Structure 1
Amino acid sequence: MRILHTADWHVGKTLKGRGRLDEHERVLREIVGIAREHEVDLVLVAGDLYDTAAPSAHAQSLVVRTLLGLARDAQVVAIAGNHDHGPALDAYRPLASAAGITLVGAPRTADNGGLLQLTAGGERANVAVLPFLSQRYAVSAAELITRTPGENTGAYDQQLRDILANLTAGFRDDAVNLVTAHLTVIGGGFGGGEREAQSIFEYAVPATVFPVDAHYVALGHLHRRQRMDAPCPVHYSGAPLAVDFGEQENEPVVCLVEASPGRPARVTDIPITTARRLRTLHGTVAELAALAGDVGEDWLRVVVREPARAGLRDDVVAALPNALEVRIDPEFAAPTEARPRPSGGADRSPADLFGEYLAGAGVADARVEKLFARLLDEVG
């Protein structure tokens, strides 16, 4: 059986106010192409199809078209992540099922859709599905108030163990046993763009929550591609597109898994090549301008190594139109604690006070003072 494991699409994500649906469309089209090229039998999408619980119509259209494209040649199972609206995914289950797509928005018991039994690639498969489970549903409100954080963490851990025990009780020796879940495993490396409040501390569980007889565990939530140290193969596919500059060093892939009863799964990473790169550049405005011919379509975060001045951002963006964020290197920023507070006095003009502020902020630019004088004159 050939399985394609992907997760954390985050369709609808914006970057510094810039929409990225065109990038997502290229990446998801590539994933569909990979599934067809490698003739996969089953596709597992381990949560966070969307970046928000209320995705735009365009974002929903793209996800639906992608799932339908994958379902033309393979069975598709997609679960909700912490960014998705689980009830909305469950509402579309009947329609999706007619197209060969299984959507699971909320955790279910094994006998109520939590354990899928299917045949793919000539092999029988059991797929235990566990969408993201918020702690406030796993642990009652009363317990959250009366217990210590450590006790609540342990309670969440035990809840997941109990749920997975129920879901995987039907695993069989003559079938390929799979788990797909959206959660944080202790020791996992963050990709850089995750929602930390739903990833750390009480949301982290040990890899021992997964059963030894699982042939493969397909995880979503952490955006970095990684294999976890566990008694069975536990993998994060990572995000196929860097969602923020904290993920610029990640190598986007999807995981191609070959599994059969009685043998360990074999996992191959297939690179995603159409994702638009994110890069951070450092230098003076002149040095940055000299790099303009080498950045291509990459989205840029620019750290300027010279003092702040009026028009600095405009100069950077003129040289590097793809610069989405421009900041001053801390080495060239005036320390806030050293800035003198303008001394008061009714006899001091606004221009004097503003000039003193500029001196304390380390801004020496006659254009700023002229602009202030003009605005002051208009107001007066």
Structure 2
Amino acid sequence: MKALHTSDWHLGRTLQRRSRDAEFDAVLAEITAIAERVQPDLIVHSGDLFDSYRPAHKDVLRAMRCLNGLARIAPTVVLGGNHDSPELFDLLNYVCTLRPDADQGRLRFVHSRGDSDPGTVLDFDSRDGHERIRLAALPYVHPNRYLHLFPGFGTTEGAYAAGLRELQDGLLTRLRDGYDPGRDVLLFTAHQYVASAVPAQSERMWEVREPYATDPDALPQVAYCALGHIHKPQPVGTGRLPARYAGSPLQMDFGESGETKSVTVVEAEPGRRTLITPHTLHSGRRLEHFQGTLDELQADAARYSGVYLKAVIHSDEPILQLGDKVADLVPEAVLVAVEENCAATRASVLTGADAADDSQLDVTAVFSSYLAETGTPGQRADEVVASFANLLSAPDPVPPACAAEQLLSKALASPWTDAARGGTETAS
């Protein structure tokens, strides 16, 4: 049995308002070519098909054209991620019912609204019919919905992970129902953050924090765990389980600079060890950082041909029209940001010694010296310094208490007791 695992396409993603449509078209064509060459029995997309809950029509069309092409090669399952809309997946599932091969389930979208058990188990036959592939699919469960699913877990840290583990255990029970060890290959796919994974820093960072991390030891014991959510391609855990994040197909942001993108091909047979092979993707532009002088950038300019570039230029004195000069040195790069790290204008960091001498510091005199250095005319500088001194010496006005504050102060002055309800307060 062969499976192709891809994830986190984030169709519609831009870079500093720059369209990446051409890159998406190229990398999706590359993924399709790999699938054509490998001829997998199943294709799994582990979530975040789109970058937005409301993707542009062109991005929906781009997704469906590619997924239809993949589905002609092998049955294809798309899992709902935290960026994907369940309602849109409902629509796409309906569109799939209009396909000529709808009865074969060649293209399926699996999602959860969080108001019911979100997981599902799907069965597929291998091309030669000798094996049955059983896939347990767990789409993203939003933290603000898990209490509805797991009311007994409370809101303490780790409750979310405990709830997900219960879902996984339930799915594993269903996965093993009727399991034939001589024929069945068990797979699991989920869109979640596993504690040992290394984020690329381009994800929504509040969703890849420890309170939302699941234990890698809690992953189901199956032939392969196809994970989505983290953009950096990587294996998960200690290697005891064949589990992997396929990662995003493009470098989505500068947090992914230097990463090699890939899709994963999985080969598994009943009773044999799983073979995992990443296939490198080459279509996307690289995202690169540069720090150094203009001379150093000129010497290394060839390296930045065709990349998205963030440049920090070091200098002793301010450089006029710095952006134009950088653009002239690397004409084949797409400049995303240019910053200057100038020694003459660099602010010094205060130390503990500065704080100790603060009582002896004449702030007005320092401000007056600053105005003189910047060339502020004498009379105007005197007026500004006088205004500054008045501001320093004037006490901050105390704003009147608002109505809510007055009510709170009154309540604190007369605390609630049983006597307020007509009872008698008892002293112990």
Cα deviation, residue 337, structure 1: 6.2
Q: Does 1:118 align with 2:124?
A: yes
CA distance in 1, matches of 2:294, 2:342: 16
CA offsets 1:167-221 (integer angstroms, 9 cap, x no match): 1213222311111111110111112311111111221110122222x11000011
Distance 1:345 1:284, change over 3 A: closer
Change (3 A) 1:159 1:328: same
126-135 or 99-108, which deviates more: 99-108
Give the equivalent residue in structure 1 for 2:322.
312
2:336 is matched with which residue: 319, 324, 334? 324
Gaps of 5+ in 2: 351-362, 386-428
Alpha-carbon distance in structure 2 between the residues aligned to 1:33 and 1:177: 26
The Cα of 1:109 is off from its aligned counterpart by 11
Post-superposition Cα deviations, 1:9-51, rounded to whole Å, max 9, x if no partner, equal 1111111221111111101110000000011111110111111
Residue 226 of structure 1 aligns with an amino acid whose one-letter code is Q
Q: Describe the shift of the 1:331–1:52 C-alpha distance in structure 2 as closer, same or farther (beyond 3 A).
A: farther
In the alignment, residue 328 of structure 1 is paired with which amino acid?
E
The alpha carbon displacement at 1:113 in A equals 6.8
* SS in structure 2 at match of 1:136: coil
Q: Which whole-Å deviations, capped at 9, do the CAs of 1:204-245 have from their partners, x for residues lacking one?
A: 110122222x11000011111111126421111111111011
SS at match of 1:64: helix
Q: What's 1:195 paired with?
A: 204
Quick one: which amino acid aligns to residue 115 of structure 1? V
Conserved 8 A contact 1:4-1:256: yes
Shift of 1:66: 1.0
Residue 9 of structure 1 contacts residue 49 of structure 1 at CA under 8 Å; is this kept in 2?
Answer: yes
Residues 259 and 311 of structure 1: CA distance in aligned 2, closer, same or farther (over 3 Å): same
Pick one of 111, 124, 138 that aligns with 1:130: 138
Question: Where does residue 426 of structure 2 map in the other structure?
Answer: none
Letter paired with 1:268: T
Match of 2:388 in 1: none
Alignment gaps of 5+ in structure 1:
354-380
Is 1:288 the counterpart of 2:281 in the alignment? no
Alpha-carbon spacing, 1:107–1:259, altered in 2? closer, same or farther (3 Å): farther
Cα deviation 1:226-282 (Å, max 9, x = unaligned): 111264211111111110111112111110100122222110111111221111122
Q: Distance in 1 between matches of 2:81 and 2:133?
A: 23
Identity %: 31
Which piece of structure 1 moves more, 191-200 or 133-142?
A: 133-142
Query: Is this contact kept in 1: 2:185–2:270, CA < 8 A?
Result: yes
**How far apart are 1:345 and its partner, in Å?**
9.6
Aligned 8 A contact 1:79 1:104 in 2: yes
Change (3 A) 1:304 1:162: same
Could you tell me which residue of structure 1 aligns to residue 171 of structure 2?
167
| Deviation at residue 290 of structure 1 after TM alignment | 4.0
TM-score normalised by the chain length of structure 2: 0.74
- 1:107, 1:130 within 8 Å by CA — same for their partners in 2? no
The aligned counterpart of 2:237 is: 229
* Superposition RMSD in Å: 3.1
Q: Is the 8 A contact 2:47 2:80 kept in 1?
A: yes
Partner-residue secondary structure (3-state), 2:276: strand
Specify the structure having the higher radius of gyration (Cα): 2
Contact 2:158 2:212 in 1 (8 A): no
C-alpha contact 2:228 2:247 (8 A) present in aligned 1: yes
What TM-score do you get using the length of structure 1 for normalisation?
0.82
Is the 1:109–1:115 Cα contact (8 Å) retained in structure 2?
A: no
Paired residues, number: 347
Query: Structure 1 counterpart of 2:17, which letter?
Result: G
SS at match of 1:300: strand
Q: Kindly indicate whether residue 380 of structure 2 is the aligned counterpart of residue 348 of structure 1.
A: yes
Residue type of the alignment partner of 1:193: S
Contact map agreement 1:109 1:167 (CA 8 A) in 2: no
**Larger deviation, residues 285-294 vs 22-31:** 285-294
Residue 240 (structure 1) aligned to one of 249, 260, 267: 249
Any conservation in 2 of the 1:108–1:114 contact (CA below 8 Å)? Answer: no
1:101 corresponds to which of 100, 107, 112: 107
Change (3 A) 1:316 1:141: farther
1:115-134 deviation per Cα after TM superposition (whole angstroms, max 9, x unaligned): 11121233201111111111
Deviation at 1:59, TM superposition (A): 1.5
Distance 1:30 1:131 in 2: 26
Counterpart of 1:190 in 2: which secondary structure? coil
Counterpart residue identity of residue 15, structure 2? L
Change (3 A) 1:33 1:110: farther
Q: CA deviation at 1:105?
A: 2.0
Change (3 A) 1:332 1:204: farther
